[in-house]
Amino acid sequence: MAGGASLLAFCAALAVLDVERSNPDANIGDFGDAMWWAVTTMTTVGYGDRYPVTGVGRLVAFALMVGGIALLGTVTATLASWLVETVAAEKEQAEDLQVMVRRLEDKIDRLAAEENPDPSPRRRRDG
């Protein structure tokens, strides 16, 4: 994920720098500005201090926004999936333990029945 995010930011920074640096109204003039813009745009922070002014630059920005949101969504979905799997595994383990406890209780009941075959309870006499 980190590699994909880095590659996406790097490529978008290069693309927007290539288009913007020849425009006199552009505020993205060097690679540092372009990288800063790419990272803030991709993370949806978007400070607004750097932004593309050309049509192609804005198209690159659009692609970067969609890619950044998709990447963030993938990370979120992966984390959610991991949490659901972990909870399901814990629940399954708890159910397995309950089955084992029931089996042990059944064995104890059978052993107690073999040891004392008379099912009638003994009554204590008072007096």
> Tens digits of per-residue pLDDT, 39-97?
998 887 877 888 899 999 999 999 999 998 888 888 889 999 999 999 999 999 999 99
Tokens at residue 115, please? 């040891």
Predicted TM-score of the model (pTM):
0.61
Question: What CATH number does the domain located at 2-81 have?
Answer: 1.10.287.70
The amino acid occupying position 58 is R
Q: Return the DSSP state at 125.
A: P
What SS3 class is residue 48?
coil
Indicate the pLDDT class of residue 124, thresholds 50, 70 and 90.
low
Nearest to 18 by CA among 46, 56, 49: 56
